[in-house]
Each structure stands twice: as C-alpha cells, then as structure tokens.
Amino acid sequence: MATAAELGCLVPGGEIRVEGAAEGPLKGVTFVAKDIFDVAGTITSCGNPTWASTHGGPARKHAWAVQKLLDAGAPLVGKSVTDQLAFSIFGENFHHGTPRNAAAPDRQPGGSSSGSASAVAGKFSAVGLGTDTGGSVRIPASYNGIIGLRPTHGILPTDGVMDLAASFDTVGWFARSANLFARVGDVLLPEQERIPPRRFLIAEDLFEAADPAVRDAVLPKAEELAARLGGKKYARVATEALGGLDGLGAAFRTLQLTEIWKTHGDWIEREKPEFGPKVAPNFAAAKQVFETEDPAPARALRERVKDRVAALLDPGDMLVFPTAPFPAPKLGQSFEELAEVRPRVMRLTCLSGLSGIPQLSLPAGVVDGAPIGLSIATLWHGDRFLVRTFCGG
C-alpha cells in the first residue's frame, strides 16, 4: 500500500477526510474523488489554479456521486489529480504533477481521471470516482490494470461535477476487485431488469485498430469469456456507410471540441489561464473547430451510429474489443511525440461516446511489461447487466 505522497495522486492540500455514514453497504470503504467533483467546504480547482480562484470559493454541498458514497458508509480520503479541466488523456497535470502508475511506474497513468486511477491501483484508496467524456475512466483503467466503467450516458447524475462536453460527460468509478466494483455499482446504479448473457460480438474493426501485440494478448481473453458466457460472432461495427472508425473519430472530435469551447471558451479568453504544453493545444483546437466547422453533419452521423448499435445488439449481447490500442505511453515524451496517441485512442473510445452505451474495462493481461484492458459494451441501460455478469452482484 502506497501513500498519497508516494503516488502523487492527490491535489495540493487534497488529503482530506470526510466520514461516511455510521452504517451502510460500503462502510469503511475508502474513496477519492477527482478534482472536478464538488466536496463541501473545499475548492474544486479542476486542475487549474486560475479556475480555483475565479469560481466562487468552497463548494456548498457534495456532488451527487460523492454524497451517495458517503451515505453508503464510505469515507472520502482525498481529492485526486486531474488533467486541467479534464481535457487530456495523458494524466500529466502541469501544475499538480503526474500521478504514479503503480502498475508501470515508467509510464503515464492516463487521463483525465489519473489521480483516482493511481490512488486505486496504488492501494491508497479502495475506490476512485472519475469522469469519462472521451475515455477518461476507460483509458486509465486499462493503463493501470484496474476495473473501470463508463456508464450509459445520463444514467448517473452529474450534479456538482464540472461540465466539459455535456452530451458526452459521464460519472464512473474504479476499483481493483470485482466484488467491490459490484458493491459500488449497487449503490450508484439504478436497479435494472436481470437478463442472461446472450452472445459475444467480437468487434473485428476495433481489434484491427489496436497494436498487434495488444490484439494477440486480448483476443484469447475475449474468446475465453465467450466460451464461458455464450456463443460468439464476429462483426464490424463502423460500416463504410458511417465512414469507418475514421468517420466516427472525426464526428466525435467535432462534437466534443465544439461543446468544450462553447462551455469554457468565454472563461478562457477572459481569464487566460496557464494550461501547459499538453493541454493548451487541445483548447486551441477546440476554439478552431468551434469557429470554423459546422457540427450538423457530425450530429447526423451520431444518430446513425446509435441506429447501428441498435441494429447490431439485442438484449444480452455484448460487444468486446480492446480498451486502448496500446499500453500506456512512456513518461517524458513531448506533445509532438505523442501526437498520434489521442486520435488512435479515440478510434476505440468514440463508439460509446457517440452512442451513449455503457462500456466496462477489465484487466486483460500485460504487453511490454504494462497492463492492457479488455472492454465489454452493451445496449443502453445495461450497466447492471455488465457489472453483474463480469463482477458479480
């Protein structure tokens, strides 16, 4: 078990403790909350000192998800590092530092929920609250060798959480053990009808988007699960009519960047916050897209992606594919050296982002000495189905 200081997983002054209820299903289960979740009496900095100084002081009440865990008996033990305004997948905060990837210390922890993933993987806390807009729970889960869920969009309230791109933003969580992950799901997720697993659909095009070593490591795990839980079928998700994975990635980029600049552009231009070399280019791109691109075609494609998912999956069907195309990149690389990381990651994460379906990432093995994850997605509101099937409960 590592300390918060050893992991660098908490924001400065973030090693706080808020006791949970005296009794509850998560009594004594420690958790951290990403520093875009409000915690009453503390300032939500969203990873940036200018944000902290311009947004009204300490929060007056807890974010919905924080309150739910406290009410279940879980004590909050820290506010965890996030990429600035949750807008990066690297996990390196220019102001607060880079949380340690306990599973691969020479590699990035992944963002933007890097501190929460680090705290869980390093055993500082049992559970970590994060958010996922473009992959910010799924990617750190894969990189750190832990379990993470991006739930059905809108199924969990985002009250008390900073908006990034509202039509993509979700609240998710991390845990090391399947049993504990399921117990948290029992607290956070609404009750849903129990259905049996029906069929595994192995997403050929999503597997093709991953490095060969990742495909070779993850595919046997997928086939093992298929043999245990039901039949399997191979399928291509992003058809030519949708423009393939490149078409999905382009639509996701246009919509996400447009929403981000619409949400934060005025504040950025007024306050001129210092973002650092790995986040500033993201906001510059958001401004450029907002000012020059028409999002209508991307919105139309998003609706067609939803139609494709509905045609592809029946209740009980599970779509399986690698969570990330490669293990976590090595630390110390420049933004330019990492230029291909984000677009390649988004080719795998944008399906759930555009469609809004739930996606669970499970540890699936090791490549080049670093963890890799396997993802299982299913139809909307199948969150409990995923968690029960793969984590119990």
Question: Annotated catalytic sites, by residue?
Answer: 34, 112, 136
DSSP-derived 3-state class of residue 224 = helix
CA 98, distance to chain mean position in Å, is: 17
d(CA 393, CA 387): 8
d(CA 267, CA 140): 28
d(CA 46, CA 83): 8
- Give ∠ CA 22-24-28 in degrees, rounded to 5: 65
d(CA 314, CA 375): 18
Tokens of 215: 């495909």
Tokens of 77: 């033990």
d(CA 200, CA 185): 22
d(CA 228, CA 243): 34
Order the strands of the 76-80 sheet from edge to edge. Answer: 76-80, 31-34, 127-132, 170-175, 147-150, 359-367, 370-377, 317-322, 199-203, 231-235
Q: What is the enclosing helix (H) or strand (E) of 32?
A: strand 31-34
Alpha-carbon distances of 111 from 115, 207, 255, 274, rounded to whole Å = 8, 22, 20, 18
Residue 112 makes CB contacts below 8 A (sequence gap 6+) with: 34, 47, 82, 83, 86, 87, 88, 89, 91, 130, 131, 133, 136
